Amino acid sequence: MKITQGQFSFLPDLTDEQITSQIKYALQNNWAVNVEYTDDPHPRNTYWEMWGMPMFDLKDPAGIMMEVNDCRKTYPNHYIRVTAFDSSRGWETPRMSFIVNRPKDEPGFGLMRQEHNGRSIHYTLRSYATEKPEGSRYG
Amino acid sequence: MNTVMEEQQNQMPGSAMPDDTPVDLKKVYEDSHIQDVLDQLDRELIGLKPVKSRIREIAALLLVDKLREQVQLSAQSPSLHMSFTGNPGTGKTTVAMRMAEILHRLGYVRQGHIVAVTRDDLVGQYIGHTAPKTREVLKKAMGGVLFIDEAYYLYKPENERDYGAESIEILLQVMENQRDDLVVILAGYKDRMDKFFQSNPGMSSRIAHHIDFPDYTADELLLIAKLMLANLNYRFSQEAENVFAEYIVKRMQMPNFSNARSIRNALDRARLRQASRLFASSGKSLTRADLITIEAEDILASRVFNQPAAE
């Protein structure tokens, strides 16, 4: 099951060239760009691990692509996303966020039912991947 | 169209185009507007003959490379890392800025900005600090030129635990792998740079262009002084010009002479004295000419003239 999140979630995965153009757009707007990764695909998992510091004052996407590629090399089977932050309002606001890497094999989610008082049932999702501990979830 | 191409390919195995395909060097040259930058270089930089001819050569090589690309002759993108050596005040930083512009016009760097750094910006203060610091600077410089002033301070042979070596290692790696993204220019005094390259053969071999900046002659320095004044909307009186020429000759013999930088400082002091002279003569009515003219007395007050000639 292909997990989608953020911008361009309705499109096929972006190529490196497309990612570079998107980052270029962010830099043209003077946004800071950050690379993050995770292996917990739950949709409510908002805070991913940071790959180094957010990058400020860059002129060219090559530097960010270098970090993206380094992150891919280290975590080939993690989700990796690029986020661009706008500080023009006095605080850093995400303006762009899109996935640039995903595991080869995404097992998807199981539906969990919890019996509750008065025969009511609570439903929740659980990723099959998270049955294993962090770091050994995808291949 | 396709069939024509195929026929040509049949005639010329191994190359996509026949040898007599016309190429338009002039058009590429004009399109790049490189002449504007080179003219500007001639106008604004006095002297520096060997430097200018070297820059011309590099520009020519890049243009020809572009043409070759057009006729599908594969050529590896040339290594453009450079080292500028010369005494202080000979214009290394200024030329580096122009270089960034030239490379930008020729399309070899995408943004054409210049990031000027020294050892402090690259080398960290504790273990694990250097690599992220160097990488951050490199990322900022990507798409442009990274200018490392006094690069020899990166390598301190007397301290084997110095973090500079780590910085050099990362630099080398990026210089080699991301040649398309970044041009590195190292600058410094000639003798120390030579020693630096001797002890870092990896660095030396990755730098294709070693450019040496000669010292300026007294005549060139006077021209530079006039150019600097013109940029600040000042001018010498005729007498002041003669006195300043004398000043330059005297100053050149004194210790700590740093070419154009010394000239700039001398002019700054002359402007100070001119201002206080104008204040002192407050009874007189001033004209616009008074405000822009530097007189001989503004220069003669310098300590250079008061010192006994060093015999």
Window 149-178 of B: residues touching A by CB (8 A cutoff) are: 178
pLDDT score recorded for residue B15: 52
C-beta separation of B139 from A66 below 8 A: yes
Q: How far apart are CA B64 and CA B15, in angstroms?
A: 18
**pLDDT above 70 for B4:** no
What pLDDT digit, counting tens, does each position of B94-127 carry?
A: 888 888 888 888 888 888 899 999 999 999 999 9
Residues of chain B positioned with their CB less than 8 A from the CB of A57: 140
What pLDDT digit, counting tens, does each position of B49-89 carry?
A: 888 888 888 888 888 887 888 787 776 777 889 999 998 88
First to last CA, chain A: 16
**pLDDT above 70 for B256:** yes
**pLDDT above 50 for B288:** yes
How many A/B residue pairs have CB atoms within 8 Å? 39
Asked if the C-beta of B52 comes within 8 angstroms of chain A's C-beta atoms, the answer is no
Closest residue on chain A to B178 (Cα): A62
Q: Helix (H, G, I), strand (E, B), or coil: what is residue B118? A: coil
Least reliable range by pLDDT among A2-16, B43-57, B220-234: B43-57
Q: How far apart are CA B65 and CA B25, in angstroms?
A: 11
Asked if the Cβ–Cβ distance from B142 to A63 is below 8 Å, we say: yes
pTM over 0.90: no
Asked if the C-beta of B250 comes within 8 angstroms of chain A's C-beta atoms, the answer is no
Q: How far apart are CA B88 and CA B104, in angstroms?
A: 26
CB crowding B14-37: b at 16 or more within 10 Å, else e: eeeeeeeeeeeeeebbeebebeeb
Closest among A78, A67, A70 to A23, alpha carbons compared: A67
Who contacts B51 (Cβ-Cβ below 8 Å, separation ≥6)?
B45, B91, B95, B211, B213
Mean pLDDT over B181-201 rounds to 91
Mean pLDDT over A37-57 rounds to 91
**pLDDT above 70 for B201:** yes
Asked if the Cβ–Cβ distance from B138 to A63 is below 8 Å, we say: yes
Asked if the Cβ–Cβ distance from B132 to A52 is below 8 Å, we say: yes
Who contacts A9 (Cβ-Cβ below 8 Å, separation ≥6)?
A98, A99
Q: How far apart are CA B124 and CA B272, in angstroms?
A: 40
Say which DSSP state B150 is in: T
If pLDDT is split at 50, 70 and 90, which confidence band does A12 have? very high
As a whole number, the mean pLDDT across chain B is: 84
Say which DSSP state A6 is in: B
Which contacts of A62-65 are long-range, i.e. CB under 8 A and separated by 24 or more positions? A62/B110, A62/B139, A62/B142, A62/B143, A62/B178, A62/B181, A62/B182, A63/B138, A63/B139, A63/B140, A63/B142, A63/B181, A64/A23, A64/A33, A64/A35, A64/B139, A65/A16, A65/A19, A65/A20, A65/A23
Mean pLDDT over B249-269 rounds to 89
**pLDDT above 90 for B186:** yes
Least reliable range by pLDDT among A75-79, B154-158, B167-171, B272-276: B154-158
Window 185-204 of B: residues touching A by CB (8 A cutoff) are: none
Closest residue on chain A to B136 (Cα): A55
Mean pLDDT over A106-130 rounds to 92
Q: How far apart are CA B210 and CA A46, in angstroms?
A: 51
If pLDDT is split at 50, 70 and 90, which confidence band does B11 have? very low
C-beta separation of B147 from B96 below 8 A: yes
Phi-psi region of A123 (alpha: psi -120 to 50; beta: other; left: phi over 0): beta
Closest among B212, B302, B213 to B262, alpha carbons compared: B302
**Burial of A72 per CB tally in 10 Å (0-12, 13-18, 19+):** middle
**Sign of the dihedral through C-alpha B220, B221, B227, B231:** positive
If pLDDT is split at 50, 70 and 90, which confidence band does A98 have? very high
Kindly state which CATH superfamily the domain A16-105 is placed in. Answer: Ribulose bisphosphate carboxylase, small subunit (3.30.190.10)
If pLDDT is split at 50, 70 and 90, which confidence band does B147 have? very high
> Which pair of structure tokens corresponds to residue B178?
């991301």
Interface probe with B: pick from A51, A60, A82, most Cβ of B within 10 Å: A60
Mean pLDDT over A54-70 rounds to 92
**pLDDT above 80 for B6:** no
- What is chain A's percent helix, strand, coil content, to nearest 5? 25, 30, 45
Give the start-to-end residue ranges of the domains of chain A: 16-105
Closest residue on chain B to A58 (Cα): B140
Who contacts B207 (Cβ-Cβ below 8 Å, separation ≥6)?
B79, B81, B82, B83, B184, B186, B197
Asked if the Cβ–Cβ distance from B144 to A63 is below 8 Å, we say: no
pLDDT score recorded for residue B16: 60
Which domains does chain B show, CATH number per domain?
22-213 (3.40.50.300), 218-306 (1.10.8.60)
Q: How far is A16 from chain B (nearest CA, A)?
A: 15
Torsion of CA A69, A70, A76, A80, to 10 degrees: -70
**pLDDT above 90 for B43:** no
Q: How far apart are CA B20 and CA B145, in angstroms?
A: 37
C-beta separation of B298 from B244 below 8 A: no
- Percentage of chain A with pLDDT > 90? 76
As a whole number, the mean pLDDT across chain A is: 92
Residues of chain B positioned with their CB less than 8 A from the CB of A62: 110, 139, 142-143, 178, 181-182
> Which pair of structure tokens corresponds to residue A136?
């050994």
**pLDDT above 90 for A97:** yes
Mean pLDDT over B268-275 rounds to 91
Please list the residues that pair with A34 across neighbouring strands: A83
